Structure 1
Amino acid sequence: MKIHKPLLALAAISGVALTMVTLQAQDDEPPEMGVFITSVGLGDGGNLGGLEGADAHCQQLAANAGLGHRSWHAYLSTQGPDAVNARDRIGEGPWANANGLVMATSVDNLHFDNSNFNWTFMLDENGNQFASRIDGDPDFTEHDVLTGTQIDGTAFTDGSDMTCSNWTSNDEGAPGCSTALRSIKAL
């Protein structure tokens, strides 16, 4: 029996207002990429080094893909007295994938059913699509996205740890919030 561990993929979203993609493509060029799912994790489970470590990982992957001139933030929430909502870390939008497809036009559009955030359009920083159980991938459990974030982009407040101890623990006893990439609407 093969046991699969979920891959901790981060959604990285560019939050720099001056370099955000625009819906009006100039000279028929697609808008610049503003969102991706990380192609590789840090290799330490849910221990991402907190928000700072997760952001640095996203920034490095973006730089390797030629997008280091933008500021990238992991789409993660934290919990507790100083909780951070993922929706408050990502700028105002719009966001496009590596193919220039606008994924969402605003923060509110991002968090509800009128965005293009689903497994079909979510690409990594290199423009590669993730496999899904929808397309027959037998290892679909390796493509979950952990964000510690509710559908509206806010942190969980019920007292249960949904963030692997605010992204500092790889302990199997530290739960996270897992959402299958095939059905994700809010990263």
Structure 2
Amino acid sequence: MTRLYLIRHGETLWNRKGKAQGMKDIQLTDVGIRQANYLAEHLKNENIDIIYASDLSRAYDTAEIIGKHINKSVIPLPGIREMNFGQWEGLTTNEIKEKYHGIFNDWSLKPHNTQIPEAETLLQVQTRSLKAVKEIIEKNPNKNIVMVSHGVAIKTIIFGLLDIDLSYYKKIRQDNTAINIIDFKKDYNVLVQLNDTCHLKNFKE
């Protein structure tokens, strides 16, 4: 059986400030680096065979910290980059509400049908991300695979692998360094774990 550990990156400064990051290449904070180390310790006994990561540094650096703990190199996978948020990138939630009030309301209520200016749609994110994930799954049968990605991308991947409509996008959350586990069985996929951050239970900033 193939098992996928789909993991969100550690904290960045823009996470802390509530800014839309998207394709912007924002670094981990010191807190994010420490979160990644707690995550890596947690994964040490999971018999991970291979590590992939978005090539944006916040995800790739998180993956490298995991790799150092389990002696595995990281393979970049651009297909699982975060959603391109277009004109919203670098803006806080309040700034987006002010400047794009109508579109923000649409995003809040029906994100799967919303077109942010100069941005990807959720469906476009899901299409490219699922393509990348499925190719890796086919290449690595019966292995434990880590993929470090981003909040929006991860949610679209989970929905795609479980045949859940994107209209439910707002119904789950993804915290920094959250672990999601999906098992690939012969005829269907099984969500084993969702948004698990138990490795941070003793974490203090």
Relative to the length of structure 1, the TM-score reads 0.31
Q: Which has the higher contact order (CA 8 A, sep 6+)?
A: 2
Question: Larger Rg: 1 or 2?
Answer: 2
Structure number with the higher helix fraction is 2
Relative to the length of structure 2, the TM-score reads 0.29
